[in-house]
Amino acid sequence: MFRPRIIPTLLLKDGSLVKSVKFKNYTYIGDPMNAVKLFNDFKADELVFLDIDASKDNKLISLDIVRAVSEEANMPFSVGGGIKTIEDIHQIIGAGAEKVVLSSRAMSDPHFIKEASDIFGSSTIVVCIDIKKTFFGSKVVYTNNGKKSSGYSPKEAAQLAEQNGAGEIIVQSIDKDGTMSGYDLDLIKEIATCVTIPVIALGGAGNFEDMKVCFESSRASALAAGSYFVYHDAQKGVLISYPDPAQIQTLRQQ
């Protein structure tokens, strides 16, 4: 019996936990370490931490934060933000993260994915592809927190990541980010059916039913979300939460 991993994705800005809508309009949520403690209590499967300003500001996600999370978290966690070199990955793994999330560097230089996976192993390397529709309606992968077009289609980017040794792919819809209106099911299914490595769905989950529909229809291996785990409801009152075990048990496939 297989069930998907359920993964809170937490955005960091200036050391604080924030949440965005379509990669804009950032709202302060609180102290990331308080969130980690709560997700410990909830027995979350994994966590993902992404520093949204790191690439833009030409810096690496704070290693102090990575160490603090490592000391507190009872679950595996991945870290992304500003990773440009093999030494950056060494430092992040050395600070306690199980996996790193590559995005901007991965799309500008796909060979870096291969270099990293050859050194650290595919299971350590996650590639996040951020996707939004252009004015003409086509879907394109963007980098630098949604500011720069990579020129790749989602399918091209996903296959490139797999060919270069990525162990997992996060498929994030910029257009769905923070809307709590449900995942982009067609997008996720397109990616999940064109690669053989696990695909993590991200962007748009507003409730547990959205996760269930995504799992049943898109072939995603894991279900990630931001707003769903930090807001009480669509009115966006801040409340850290996680599905209860009885709900999670309904997400199973033979």
- Which position among 45, 51, 53, 130 bears the catalytic label? 130
Contact between residue 35 and residue 44 where contact means Cβ atoms under 8 Å apart: no
Amino acid at 160: L
130 is catalytic: yes
Q: What are phi and psi for residue 173, nearest 5 degrees?
A: -90, 115
* Cα atoms in the Cβ-side hemisphere of radius 13 Å centred on 168: 24
Contact between residue 236 and residue 21 where contact means Cβ atoms under 8 Å apart: no
| Pairing status of strand 148-149 against strand 139-143 | antiparallel
- How far apart are alpha carbons 34 and 111 in whole angstroms? 37
Q: Which residues pair with 13 in a beta bridge?
A: 16
- How far apart are alpha carbons 199 and 188 in whole angstroms? 8
- How far apart are alpha carbons 149 and 144 in whole angstroms? 9
The neighbour count for residue 25, using CB atoms within 10 Å, is 10
Residues with a catalytic annotation lie at 130
